[in-house]
Amino acid sequence: MAEAYIVDAIRTPTGKKKGTLAGWHPADLGAIPIQEIVKRTGIDPNAVDDVIWGCVDAIGPQAGNMGRSCWLAAGYPEAVPGVTIDRQCGSSQQAIHFAAQAVMSGTQDLIVAGGVQNMNAIPISAAMIAGQAFGFETPFSTSPAWAARYGKEEVNQIYAAEKIAEQWDISREDMEVFAAESNRRAEEAIDSGRFAAEIVAVDGFAADETVRRGTTLAGLANLKPVREGGRITAGVSSQIADAAAAVLIASEQAVKDHGLKPRARIHHLTVRGDNPIMMLTAPIPATRHALQKTGLKLSDIDLVEINEAFASVALAWAKDLGADLSKVNVNGGAIALGHPLGATGAKLMTTLLYELERRGGRYGLQTMCEGGGLANVTIIERLG
């Protein structure tokens, strides 16, 4: 099978709730890492076969095919197509998968994959909320087939995060220790300049602003649970955020034709499903599946990026798989750095690539929970 290579990856800084990026149009924000990846690699924009882009809640300024809109907002040729996909939180990780699969199939050679999300402009679940105007309480509320299979049980991420904490016996204190460490690692990464090379500035704004500096266990313990009597608080949950990220995927032929230097090889691609009511557990079976297919053990993986949608998700994954947390989210995760939905997959891949290079590691694994009980797993192998 043909190989697919990561030539480069870049992301914007992450803006917080009501932060620096709140007023940016998603097309303009998404154009920035696209422009930077073209500039850094020196590729001819006309040579790009497709732009595969993640974006969730595609309404308002995020409607109308963001993959196409971001490319055009970047000022590049109209002949190059674009498409937008929604695999919920894993949308831009899936964009990378589709790009790699197109290259591996031999049908395309050079693809820009990534995603964008402005959660300040378009709040999470805005598309579902908009559906209420047409009489749909949730996407499933009027489906007899759904009700026959899953009953009337809630389809809600907070509900799922709570159920995971209960089922895996993860205490609120366990999650708060994890959340405090996420913030500490992120502070250290920012202050040491570890993210500098992977970030393209947006009008002079060049550092993630989501980190809750000085987070303490005492402070986390004082937060009210999201649900009465529950364990999940805002402090152990991912943050509303705005960002965009782009990854250039190339075939061996494109590497030769354009004089490119690949930084990593796509080693494995997996997407698996699990119970949609539990919703956030699929990284566990997906990771098991990926390791089985590749013959790798988790101990062979040098670094892991698992999206910290909630601390219970990452801790349940680590508990089930016996993961070494010293190799997981080493620069902090979404609890500290934010989760800009459609951009998060490409954002995490960017951070994983740069950190593998910094440490001289070989294999990196990325996974994340996704609405509907889904999870992608990508394993990359650093080159050079």
Q: How does pLDDT run across 8-30, given as a tens digit for each residue?
A: 999 999 999 999 999 999 999 99
HSE of 217 in the Cβ direction (CA atoms, 13 Å)?
8
The pLDDT value recorded for residue 44 is 98
72-76, 131-135, 279-283, 296-300 — which is least confidently predicted? 131-135
The answer to whether residue 70 is catalytic is no
The domain at 5-122+240-258 falls in which architecture?
Answer: 3-Layer(aba) Sandwich (3.40)
| Contact of 271 with 378, CB cutoff 8 Å | no
Say how far apart CA 317 and CA 295 lie, in whole Å. 19
The answer to whether residue 25 is catalytic is no
**Predicted structure pTM score:** 0.97
Instruction: Indicate which residue of 89, 97, 267, 268 is catalytic.
Output: 89
Say how far apart CA 76 and CA 67 lie, in whole Å. 12
Q: What angle do CA 323, 327, 331 make, to 5 degrees?
A: 130
Strand 363-370 with 374-382, pairing: antiparallel
Burial class (CB in 10 A: 0-12, 13-18, 19+), 74: buried
Higher pLDDT, 364 or 124: 364
The pLDDT value recorded for residue 129 is 75
Instruction: Indicate which residue of 97, 267, 268, 339 is catalytic.
Output: 339
Q: Which own/partner pairs from 287-294 qualify as long-range (CB within 8 Å, at least 24 positions apart)?
A: 287/317, 287/321, 287/365, 287/367, 287/375, 287/377, 288/321, 289/377, 290/365, 290/377, 290/379, 293/268, 294/267, 294/268, 294/379
pLDDT tens per residue across span 82-125: 999 999 999 999 999 999 999 999 999 999 999 999 999 998 88
Instruction: Indicate which residue of 55, 97, 267, 369 is catalytic.
Output: 369
The answer to whether residue 55 is catalytic is no
Say how far apart CA 305 and CA 314 lie, in whole Å. 10
Q: Confidence class of residue 268 from pLDDT cuts 50, 70 and 90?
A: very high
Say how far apart CA 101 and CA 38 lie, in whole Å. 21
